[in-house]
Amino acid sequence: MILFLALVTSGAFGQHLQLVNKKNTVSQAAAPVWQWRISVDSIISGETQAAPQAFLWIPEHCKQLKAVVWGQHNMTEATVLEHPAFRKTLAELGIGEIWVTPAITQMFDFTKNAPADFERMMNRLAEVSGYTALKTIPVIPIGHSAQASFPWNFAAWNPARTLAVISLHGDAPLTKLTGSGAPNPDWGNRNIDGVPSLFIMGEYEWWEDRMLPAISYTQMHPHSVISLFADAGHGHFDASDALVDYISLFIRKAMKYRWRANGLHPVQREDGWLMGKWHKDSQPTAPAAPFNAYTGNRQSASWVFDSSMANATEHYYKTARGKRQQFIGFIRDGKIQVPGKSHAVYAVNVQLLPDGITFHISAFFADSTRTRQVTEHASTPLMINRICGPVKKINDTTFRLDFYRMGFNNTKRSNDIWLVAENRGDDVFKSAVQQLNIKIPLPQTTGEAQQIYFKSLPDQQKGVKELSLTAQTTSGLPVNYYVKEGPAFIKDNKLVFTGVPPRAKLPLKVTVVAWQYGITGKYQSALPVERSFFIVP
């Protein structure tokens, strides 16, 4: 993973900034639903020694599926895909989501097996879901960091099927500075002309050398339509509410200008607008303008769809421009943590409370060393939120282990928790972010062994509201659950059902997993137990 800069805001997009204090109050209420899951059996992942799992979400009331956003498991892809505001936008547009863990391809090398594996995945999802349009539907690939070249290569492989490209804190097309360190496949005569693309970099990861390949590409391919977006006041690891809102706006524009019922329409560069490339704390040298009227440096200018997109971008930049920078530190067990030199900066262990799954971590406004508290800082709250991993936020100092559909058996990711401390800034101070990485032992192997007893679950009629779950452990410790697949979520040891999309194929499989992590030194982790049943007509 590598670093960058990006910025945004306006209209409905800008309105979301007013709600940033409420982040996660909705998303923490219930785990996000993914109604279908298939195994991509043509691949054995080195992370799990098993086939990757592809999950499909379709908006609950979607009659006509028009496109899907496809992301794979690196870091912030799921943060975006499961964000309530993002899903609300997609539901309004008739767009679904696919998330794959572990990834079936890092670079999408179309000279090898990636296209065939993708087609198998889409055909199988079409078959199990009943949404047969998935076999040929337009795709918006999204990839973060080490996965950030995959969207460009997918678009080069099949531009006629690519609705838009989102490289999230990532890579320029055909860059030699890939986030993964692996080389891009040779594009030959391929290009992504007419495919609207969003290249995002964060302010606190900004490196001009990573931007230059994008500028070079647009100069060599004058029909490309690439937006160079700086996530001002943010870094490599976070996907803020504001950024999610900007990406949502970008997808709305892509649907307006590119999607047609009879096929995707090439977006013409001359029909868009140009605006100056972001420079930290500097006013633009020329105002944004229609393509042919722009008077600034055209070679380095960023293309955007229209005036409202230009205004949204400038508004986003304006929220960070000319303000004082802030720094954030962490406190664990009453002690200020010293930042390290790892990619995470903070890599810490936590002391779990007597329940075996709850822990505390807190953040404070710091000086540039991140080891001393300061009294001058933004008046808005300092929050800690989940980036990814098996964790649930209780409040800004309390977190709980919360395993989910990734399962226990990914030796790289199942024990890997990433949090981000963040502040949205105010009129004087710009927004600030600081990531933190926590590794937990998985499974717990010390103490008394325990097992879970979880009786089989009967099939349920479509329209059922909830189902009680009554698994028990031999240790007497409480059982936790997650939904691996199906239109349902867990609440108070009950399986609460959501609506079944109107074209869903029945019977529809639901899989619930019972887990018990154990207590350090007292009880070992129990082997998780799966129970599946079907929703029937």
Alpha helices in 197-278, H assignment, sequence order: 208-220, 241-258
Identify the pLDDT of residue 28.
43
- Per DSSP, the three-state class of 49 is coil
Identify the pLDDT of residue 50.
96
- Name residue, tokens 């709250």: 381
Q: Is the four-CA dihedral 348, 358, 243, 166 of positive or negative sign?
A: positive
On whether the CB atoms of residues 365 and 373 are closer than 8 A, the answer is yes
Amino acid at 10: S
Q: Determine the Cα–Cα distance for residues 422 and 323; give it in Å rounded to an integer.
A: 16
Identify the pLDDT of residue 156.
98
Identify the pLDDT of residue 329.
98
Identify the pLDDT of residue 18.
37
- Per DSSP, the three-state class of 347 is strand
Amino acid at 341: K
CB neighbour list of residue 259: distance below 8 Å, 6 or more residues apart = 66, 67, 138, 163, 265
Identify the pLDDT of residue 170.
84
Segment-wise mean pLDDT, segments of 10 residues, the chain, 537 residues = 32 38 42 96 95 98 97 96 98 98 96 97 98 98 97 98 96 94 96 98 90 94 97 94 98 98 96 94 94 96 97 96 96 95 92 96 97 97 97 97 95 96 96 97 96 98 96 98 98 96 97 98 97 97
CB neighbour list of residue 439: distance below 8 Å, 6 or more residues apart = 347, 349, 415, 416, 417
H/E element, 86? helix 84-93
- pTM of the model as a whole: 0.93
Q: Determine the Cα–Cα distance for residues 269 and 304; give it in Å rounded to an integer.
A: 9
